[in-house]
Chain A
Amino acid sequence: MKKSTKKLMALVLACLLTVAFSMTGCSSKDTSSGSSTASKEKIALVCSAAGANDNGYNQAAIKGLNQLKTEKGVDTKVVETTTDYPGTLKTLADAGYKLIYSLEYDFTALIDGVGGEKPLAEQYPDTTFVVFNANPNLKEDNTAKFKNVISVMFNVNEASFLAGALSVKVNENASVLFDSSKYSLTTGDAGRAVGFIGGTQSSGIEVFSYGYAEGINYVAKELGVNYTYYSTYNAGFSDSATGGTTAGTYYSEGANVVYTVAGSVGDGVDAKAKEVKKLSIEVDANKDSAQPGYILTSVLKNTNVPVYALGTALIDGTLASKGGTVINYSLGSEATGITDLSTIAAAIKSDSAAQAKWTEIKNYITDLSSKIGSGTIKVTNAQIGETLDIATLSNVKLPK
């Protein structure tokens, strides 16, 4: 009896194996037909540690890449590395990828070379590497080190400035704008406070915070009021529970708006905002509808715009002229800015006073935006090494 079951199992296993091997035949044919079209331009993208599905930075870039694939018919590849990041860049360059976007933050292997190796940019002169958020491609005399490295920067300081101005404007007119039964915003001087939660202490995060503080200071000075600015810079990028707890503290201290630049930590902040019926500000992608009515706006960093633009340049043959440069995306380039506020607009009261005030605020923000564009207002840009002089923030208090 037992022996027969064993025989039966062996038979079943043998069948399974046969099926598996016959399937090998089918799919290997598929792959060979896929790789025969190798003459197309090949573009690759290497994700940062946050991964391909981060609802922002990486995901938007992949969106741009997919747009290139469908519209221009290029060969694309998205890679998430775990162990060997420089090795991945090498493998891709060896495999004939002519344009490689690197969303990673570590540029040492690419620009300086490690372990006695030449810099990767020097090893692969025919491949163009695109890096984001910083410009490591500099010699001592501030000229470009490599002709095949392009740095992309977003002026999120300007977008954060608008978010700061909007925060104060909305906070000062909260009783006119919002239905008091749906929100429990702290009123009076106690409510003149905002929070900022950053993922790590770095110029890449400070650029948001400085712009935001300056935006708040600008409007507060105009109105002759003082704001308290609560901030933390070590929330990490993954723990949304931390976000909820920290934001909860700020909200109970009287802050009505909390701005989070810390990846998915922001999810916890948004949930907390809804729970205590106050407001939060999101970052990277348009996440206004994640908690509709409780997210004031999102500071956008649309990585798909440069990904698409540079990919198009590769196909047009104009990429070489951009080599070694820094591409700055400022307000109005569609790559950065704040959202169109349509989601929060739905939460504004429908009476004419509220609607008139809301239109006034929106016009005010548009006006500020053009002032920044024309250079009338200068916002500190921490990611190019500018530092914020705290003394200029006359109407913002930074508690210790």
Chain B
Amino acid sequence: MNKVRKLGLSLLNSLLPVLCAFAIGAVIILIIGQNPLTTYWIMIKNTLFTWKGFMKTLHYASPLILTGLAIAITFKANIFNMGVEGQLLGGAFASCIIGFSLKSMNPTAHVIICLLSGIIVGMLFALVPAILKAYFHVNEMVVTLMLNYAIAKILQVLASTVFRDKAAGYVATSPIESSAMFNRIGGTSITLFFPITIVVFIAMYFVFKKSRLGYEITAIGRNTEFAEASGMNVRRKIIYMMLISGALSGLAGAGFMMSEKFKYTLDFSGSPGLGWDGMLIALLGGHDPIGILIAAVFYSALKTGSDSIGIFANVPKEIVAVIQGLMILFLSIRFIDQRTKVFENFKTRFISKKAQTEEVQ
């Protein structure tokens, strides 16, 4: 019973910000003079209830699932890898360079090499702050956060000088060879990258829920000193977590490159960027793998849905950005809830009262 209530509460925690954001979004759409229900229906119908649309949603959810997991695995241990964005870009760039410089390769081999190079580069970029944190007590949040900008700028220089495609009218590398591209399946947007993501997701589910490492991560997150005192090698665990996080980010970047973008441009990751999106998704999913999966698909539906709104409704597509912003705002209210318990108290009172009245009836 207690477990059910706990689950209900955490569900409520994730759903409330979303509902509030949509409610306020609806008010804004009403003010514009459009119907919020039709607008939302256009968005939902084209992203979840048509075959092509749903495949597209899953396609764009793939990198988000990975970055969400990358964030969750460290955040759960109270280690803050804010560098997912940079690690993703690094991985994407590496796979791009391998993708266009190796010519006439066997497609299977080429794809595997590209993905591996992305993963390795992602891990390398995560290793630096991990070692600094584990052995020199340098604040990993600062290092990873700042490293994002360093990586982005280095890649900007590389993309606009050494690896620049001279024929393009803007800063872009050459497109990757077709042997390194994931082909679209059955006339939809989806590629082999999505099944790969799901395999990784299942593996990560076991790491989170069933493995010793998953347990240790939770323990370190609860109380680092206690974890250390009870015989865990916290330093090594920090490095493991960061490496897994970096690998996931690198894979996300490489996969997005090979299934969607095919070349590195300065707006490769979009705005706010897949890594930052991953942070929101991890929060929304409560740092839980299943939660992250749902949140990533939902968030991807919002993203692709904004294009549908732009085409089929008379509402500016910015409404989706407004909703996303509101969601972040309301999610931070939930943060207050966890620390101060003000809202939790209110909710438990509310819910227990409701339970009482139900019992009476």
Residue of B nearest to A49 (CB): B267
List residues 1-60 of chain A with CB under 8 A from any CB of chain B: 20-21, 23-24, 27-28, 31, 49
8 Å CB contact of A31 from B26, B38, B183, B262: B38
Query: Chain B 143-177, CB within 8 Å of chain A: the 1/0 string?
Result: 00000000000000000100010001111100100
Contacts of B164 in A (CB 8 A): 201
Bound together, the chains give a CA A84 to CA B60 distance in angstroms of: 9
List residues 197-249 of chain A with CB under 8 A from any CB of chain B: 200-204, 234
Q: Which residues of A contact B (CB under 8 A)?
A: 20-21, 23-24, 27-28, 31, 49, 77, 79-84, 87-88, 91-92, 95, 105-106, 108, 112, 114-117, 133-134, 200-204, 234, 383
A302 to chain B, nearest CB (A): 19
B60 near A83: Cβ-Cβ < 8 Å: yes
A27 near B35: Cβ-Cβ < 8 Å: yes
Query: Chain B 256-294, CB within 8 Å of chain A: the 1/0 string?
Result: 000110110101001000000000000000000000000
B334, CB-defined interface residue at 8 Å: no
Q: Which residues of B contact A (CB under 8 A)?
A: 26, 30, 34-38, 56, 60, 160, 164, 168-172, 175, 178, 181-184, 189, 191, 259-260, 262-263, 265, 267, 270, 303-304, 306-308, 310-311, 316-317
8 Å CB contact of A87 from B56, B262, B270: B56
Contacts of B184 in A (CB 8 A): 115-117
B262 near A81: Cβ-Cβ < 8 Å: no
A28 near B35: Cβ-Cβ < 8 Å: yes
Bound together, the chains give a CA A362 to CA B24 distance in angstroms of: 56
Contacts of B169 in A (CB 8 A): 105, 133-134, 202-204, 383
Bound together, the chains give a CA A49 to CA B270 distance in angstroms of: 10
Contacts of A112 in B (CB 8 A): 175
A50 to chain B, nearest CB (A): 11
A87 near B170: Cβ-Cβ < 8 Å: no
Contacts of B317 in A (CB 8 A): 80, 82
B262 near A83: Cβ-Cβ < 8 Å: no
B195 to chain A, nearest CB (A): 15
B56 near A27: Cβ-Cβ < 8 Å: no
Contacts of A80 in B (CB 8 A): 310, 316-317
A39 to chain B, nearest CB (A): 19
A88 near B311: Cβ-Cβ < 8 Å: yes
B182 near A77: Cβ-Cβ < 8 Å: no
Contacts of B304 in A (CB 8 A): 83-84, 87
Do A108 and B310 form a contact, CB below 8 Å, given A24-B38, A203-B169? Answer: no
Shortest 8 CB-CB distances between A and B: which pairs? A116-B183, A27-B35, A204-B169, A115-B184, A105-B170, A134-B169, A79-B310, A105-B169
B160 near A83: Cβ-Cβ < 8 Å: no
Bound together, the chains give a CA A204 to CA B14 distance in angstroms of: 47
Bound together, the chains give a CA A117 to CA B262 distance in angstroms of: 13
Bound together, the chains give a CA A82 to CA B306 distance in angstroms of: 8
Bound together, the chains give a CA A112 to CA B175 distance in angstroms of: 11
Bound together, the chains give a CA A199 to CA B170 distance in angstroms of: 10
B108 to chain A, nearest CB (A): 14
Contacts of A27 in B (CB 8 A): 34-35, 38
B171 near A84: Cβ-Cβ < 8 Å: no
Do A108 and B262 form a contact, CB below 8 Å, given A87-B189, A115-B191, A117-B184? Answer: yes
Do A88 and B38 form a contact, CB below 8 Å, given A83-B60, A201-B171, A202-B168? Answer: no
B60 to chain A, nearest CB (A): 6
Contacts of B191 in A (CB 8 A): 115
Bound together, the chains give a CA A112 to CA B259 distance in angstroms of: 15
Do A114 and B262 form a contact, CB below 8 Å, given A83-B60, A108-B175, A200-B160? Answer: yes
A28 near B38: Cβ-Cβ < 8 Å: yes
Contacts of A77 in B (CB 8 A): 311
Residue of A nearest to B265 (CB): A106
Bound together, the chains give a CA A83 to CA B308 distance in angstroms of: 11
Contacts of A116 in B (CB 8 A): 178, 181, 183-184
Residue of B nearest to A44 (CB): B311
A58 to chain B, nearest CB (A): 14
A84 near B189: Cβ-Cβ < 8 Å: yes
A142 to chain B, nearest CB (A): 14
Bound together, the chains give a CA A91 to CA B183 distance in angstroms of: 20
Bound together, the chains give a CA A201 to CA B30 distance in angstroms of: 44
A81 near B171: Cβ-Cβ < 8 Å: no
Bound together, the chains give a CA A108 to CA B191 distance in angstroms of: 18
A112 to chain B, nearest CB (A): 8
Bound together, the chains give a CA A106 to CA B37 distance in angstroms of: 34
B307 near A83: Cβ-Cβ < 8 Å: yes
Residue of A nearest to B164 (CB): A201
Bound together, the chains give a CA A91 to CA B308 distance in angstroms of: 9
B259 near A24: Cβ-Cβ < 8 Å: no
B240 to chain A, nearest CB (A): 33
Bound together, the chains give a CA A24 to CA B326 distance in angstroms of: 24
A24 near B37: Cβ-Cβ < 8 Å: yes
B182 near A115: Cβ-Cβ < 8 Å: yes
Among B56, B267, B307: residue with most chain A CB under 10 A:
B307
A202 near B170: Cβ-Cβ < 8 Å: yes
Bound together, the chains give a CA A21 to CA B37 distance in angstroms of: 8
Bound together, the chains give a CA A290 to CA B53 distance in angstroms of: 44
Contacts of A133 in B (CB 8 A): 169
Can you show 15 pairs from A to B with CB atoms below 8 A apart? A20-B26, A20-B36, A23-B35, A28-B38, A82-B307, A83-B60, A88-B307, A92-B311, A95-B311, A106-B172, A108-B262, A115-B259, A115-B262, A201-B164, A383-B169
Residue of A nearest to B304 (CB): A83
Contacts of A95 in B (CB 8 A): 311
A234 near B307: Cβ-Cβ < 8 Å: no
B52 to chain A, nearest CB (A): 9
A257 to chain B, nearest CB (A): 26
A82 near B38: Cβ-Cβ < 8 Å: no
8 Å CB contact of A204 from B170, B181, B263, B265: B170
Do A83 and B267 form a contact, CB below 8 Å, given A20-B37, A108-B175? Answer: no
Contacts of B181 in A (CB 8 A): 114-116
A75 to chain B, nearest CB (A): 13
Do A200 and B38 form a contact, CB below 8 Å, given A82-B306, A82-B317? Answer: no
A166 to chain B, nearest CB (A): 27
B59 to chain A, nearest CB (A): 9
A83 near B183: Cβ-Cβ < 8 Å: no
Residue of B nearest to A234 (CB): B160
A25 to chain B, nearest CB (A): 10
B310 to chain A, nearest CB (A): 5
Bound together, the chains give a CA A81 to CA B36 distance in angstroms of: 20
Contacts of A134 in B (CB 8 A): 169
Bound together, the chains give a CA A79 to CA B175 distance in angstroms of: 26
B311 near A82: Cβ-Cβ < 8 Å: no
